């Protein structure tokens, strides 16, 4: 079994990863110096011990005392350098993990929505959690120990040859046995490592989905099934981790056993040479100690390839995300608009999520400023897709969308994101206080501005009635609030952001009549200074809209106010009648 050599791409990836080391050059060099001091003392120690033994035989007590003093000094210096070295390795290692995670997170937030449609979240969590640690470990521990091992093999190799070329030959001849054992297990280790990465992806994905969908799991009564599935996935991770660890240890022990064979031969031949006065006792003791260090360092060098092979998959996964190799990034233009009016215009827009599955076909309409525009149609008609296109989560395949007569493709991220907000049916609220949830939209907002936004969103009285008012904790995803309260809080958040355009995606679909009335009051109130777009399939809640656009199978089949459409538009009439019946 032969370990694959690196191809050009692998080498590029490895070199690419070195950029994370460059921030810690000085610490890396200090760690390296500590390691070199460790090597030097590792080389001196056997000589001192051999001399100590010799002094014992010659009963030279003053020599013994000075050697013990040397041993003590070596111990103190070694302990200090080991402490510094271990601290710095941990420092560099954890900082690299932190740097990689930060870059991955920032890249993920800049990915296009299409990329999120394609990527599974567990895969992402596993990449950020496991792959970053694997890479950091190789970049710090492996690189440093590899350099140290190379230096050790060269220096100790020369010393061995100098002490006894014959014994050196014995050590060299025994080495291929350990090498072959290691190569035999190398491929298997690589394979097991890949399998573990895959199992981790599945495990994290299931964990994430279960926690996010905990309400569905309870209501669908699938808890036992989910627990079984989670057990299977975590057992899989556990078994693969144990198996990987076992093969790793087994290959090391077998390789070490081959070293023992070399030790036995060296001891037998060396002792024979000492007895026949062909080798001094000091050299004999020094050689046996050096040869062990030499063989284990030589073996470590042969592992460098495999260690890097093992991180290649992690490197691919990490840089795939950081450098957006397979996932598309959000693209924005450069044009910045300071004060927008808020008119939106769809001009012959075509769109498809997947090739040859058109969702919108030649859609054209205007959304007037300071008015409420409703987009209605049956489920799956393409209404929410229109909102996603306004937010530029996706881009039309043909045609264009204009904001204040400028193609939104030309606008910069700031213009789009600061001027457009969306309120979903289930607005996402963070597990913190009401105030913190509001301030996310505008961290510098004053208390007066917060209260003003809450009044306009018809949530002010409710907040004031709470014992802790704006400091009330609202629980994971707003579980302590009703659907209507969550929505009004989301409206207040959008107002605090000073968005000129507020989109509502089926926002009132699940509300009771009273909550819906509050939300509608708020919408009407804010439409005097904002452009409002509401997507809904319940027409009764939208009759107050200034303009209604009807979408059917991805096409606009009518637009105008309710009174006009109910008399003139057959699709609208049908939708209305279905709801009334
Ligand atoms: P509506 O809001 O009118 O109910 P949508 O705009 O949500 O409809 O969806 C229109 C069509 O696009 C549906 O057939 C839906 O399955 C499909 N669709 C929506 N989102 C995606 C997506 N992210 N990837 C692929 N298809 C999608």
Does residue 170 contact residue 266 with C-beta atoms inside 8 Å? Answer: yes
Which of ligand 1's atoms lies nearest the C-alpha of 551? 3
Q: Whose CA is nearest to atom 5 of ligand 1?
A: 382
Strand order of the β-sheet with 398-403 is 358-367, 344-352, 398-403, 406-407
Q: Is the Cβ atom of 379 under 6 angstroms away from ligand 1?
A: yes
- Among residues 162, 213, 146, the alpha carbon closest in space to that of 47 is found at 162
How far away, in angstroms, is 31 Cα from ligand 1 center? Answer: 55
Q: Whose CA is nearest to atom 7 of ligand 1?
A: 384
Ordered structural domains, the chain, with CATH: 9-322 (1.20.1560.10), 344-580 (3.40.50.300)
How far apart, in whole angstroms, are the C-alpha atoms of residue 547 and residue 551? Answer: 13
Residue nearest to atom 20 of ligand 1 (CA): 385
**Of 212, 298, 231, 295, nearest in space to 258 by CA:** 295
Q: How far is the CA of 428 from the centre of ligand 1 (A)?
A: 20
pLDDT value for 1: 41
CA nearest ligand 1 atom 13, residue: 380
How remote is the CA of residue 484 from the centroid of ligand 1, in Å? 25
Could you give phi then psi for residue 387, rounded to 5 degrees?
Answer: -65, -40
Number of Cβ within 10 Å of residue 476's Cβ equals: 11
Antiparallel, parallel or unpaired: β 420-424 and 501-505? parallel
Element (H, E) at 532: strand 531-536
396 Cβ below 6 A of ligand 1 = no
Q: Which atom of ligand 1 is nearest to the CA of 535?
A: 2
User: What pTM did the predictor assign?
Assistant: 0.71
Q: Which atom of ligand 1 is the closest one to the Cα of 385?
A: 6
Question: Can you point out the beta strands (E) in 341-441?
Answer: 344-352, 358-367, 372-376, 398-403, 406-407, 420-424
Q: Is the CB of 112 under 6 A from ligand 1?
A: no
Instruction: Give the span between the Cα atoms of 193 and 244, in whole angstroms.
Output: 7
User: Tokens 């008609």 map to which residue?
Assistant: 381
Quote the pLDDT of residue 176.
Answer: 82
State the closest ligand 1 atom to the C-alpha of 381, by its place in the atom list counted from 1. Answer: 3
Pocket lining: 235 vs ligand 1, CB cutoff 6 Å? no
Centroid of ligand 1 to alpha carbon of 25 (angstroms): 50
CA of 386 to the centre of ligand 1 (A): 10
Q: What gap in Å lies between CA 525 and CA 546, rounded to an integer? A: 13
Tens-digit pLDDT string for the chain (581 aa): 444 556 777 788 888 888 898 999 999 999 999 988 988 888 888 889 888 888 888 888 888 999 999 999 999 999 999 999 999 999 999 999 999 999 999 888 888 887 877 777 777 888 888 889 888 888 888 888 888 899 989 999 999 999 999 999 988 888 888 777 777 777 787 788 888 888 988 898 888 888 878 877 887 778 888 999 999 999 999 999 999 889 888 877 887 777 788 889 999 999 999 999 888 888 898 899 888 888 888 888 877 777 777 778 888 888 888 887 667 777 889 999 888 899 999 999 999 988 888 999 999 999 999 999 999 988 888 999 999 999 998 999 999 999 999 999 999 988 998 899 888 877 888 878 899 988 988 888 899 999 988 988 888 888 999 888 899 888 755 557 887 788 888 888 888 888 889 998 876 666 667 777 777 887 888 888 889 999 987 777 777 889 999 999 889 999 999 889 888 888 888 888 876 66
Q: What is the largest CA-CA distance in the chain?
A: 120
């Amino acid at each position: 079994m032969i370990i694959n050599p690196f191809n050009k791409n692998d080498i590029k990836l490895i070199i690419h990863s070195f950029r994370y080391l460059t921030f810690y050059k000085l610490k890396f060099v200090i760690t390296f110096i500590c390691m070199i001091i460790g090597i030097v003392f590792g080389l001196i120690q056997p000589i001192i011990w051999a001399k100590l033994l010799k002094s014992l035989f010659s009963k030279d007590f003053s020599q013994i005392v000075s050697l013990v003093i040397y041993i003590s000094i070596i111990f103190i210096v070694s302990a200090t350098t080991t402490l510094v070295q271990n601290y710095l390795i941990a420092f560099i290692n954890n900082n690299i993990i932190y740097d990689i995670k930060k870059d991955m997170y920032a890249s993920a937030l800049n990915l296009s929505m299409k990329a999120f449609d394609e990527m599974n979240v567990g895969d992402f969590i596993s990449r950020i959690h496991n792959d970053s640690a694997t890479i950091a470990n190789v970049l710090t521990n492996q690189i440093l120990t590899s350099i140290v091992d190379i230096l050790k093999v060269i220096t100790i190799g020369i010393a061995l040859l100098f002490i006894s070329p014959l014994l050196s030959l014995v050590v060299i001849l025994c080495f291929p046995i350990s090498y072959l054992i290691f190569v035999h297990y190398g491929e298997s280790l690589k394979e097991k490592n890949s399998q573990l990465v895959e199992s981790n992806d599945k495990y994290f994905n299931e964990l994430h989905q279960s926690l996010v969908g905990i309400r569905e799991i309870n209501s669908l009564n699938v808890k036992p099934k989910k627990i079984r599935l989670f057990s299977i996935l975590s057992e899989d991770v556990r078994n693969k981790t144990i198996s990987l660890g076992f093969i790793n240890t087994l290959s090391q022990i077998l390789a070490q056993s081959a070293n023992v064979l070399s030790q036995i031969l060296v001891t037998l031949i060396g002792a024979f040479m000492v007895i026949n006065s062909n080798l001094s006792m000091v050299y004999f003791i020094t050689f046996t100690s050096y040869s062990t260090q030499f063989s284990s360092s030589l073996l470590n060098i042969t592992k460098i390839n495999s260690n890097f092979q093992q991180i290649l998959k992690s490197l691919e996964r990490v840089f795939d995300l950081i450098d957006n190799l397979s996932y598309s990034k959000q693209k924005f233009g450069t044009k910045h608009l300071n004060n927008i009016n808020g008119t939106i215009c769809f001009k012959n827009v075509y769109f498809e999520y997947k090739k040859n599955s058109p969702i919108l076909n030649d859609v054209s309409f205007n959304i007037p400023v300071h008015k409420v525009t409703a987009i209605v149609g049956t489920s799956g008609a393409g209404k929410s897709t229109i909102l996603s296109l306004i937010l530029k989560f996706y881009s039309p395949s043909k045609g264009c969308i204009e904001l204040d007569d400028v193609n939104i493709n030309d606008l910069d991220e700031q213009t789009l994101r600061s001027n457009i907000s969306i309120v979903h049916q289930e607005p996402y609220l963070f597990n913190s206080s009401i105030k913190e949830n509001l301030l996310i939209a505008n961290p510098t907002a004053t208390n007066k501005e917060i209260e003003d936004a809450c009044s306009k969103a018809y949530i002010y009285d409710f907040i004031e009635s709470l014992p802790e008012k704006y400091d009330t904790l609202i629980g994971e995803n707003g579980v302590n609030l009703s659907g209507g309260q969550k929505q009004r809080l989301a409206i207040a958040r959008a107002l605090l952001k000073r968005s000129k355009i507020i989109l509502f995606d089926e926002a009132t679909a699940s509300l009771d009549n009273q909550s819906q009335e509050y939300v509608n009051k708020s919408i009407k109130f804010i439409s005097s200074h904002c452009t409002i777009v509401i997507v809904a399939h319940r027409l009764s809640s939208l009759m107050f809209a200034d303009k209604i656009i009807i979408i059917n199978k991805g096409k606009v089949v009518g637009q105008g106010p309710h009174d006009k459409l109910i008399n003139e538009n057959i699709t609208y009439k049908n939708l209305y009648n279905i709801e009334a019946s």
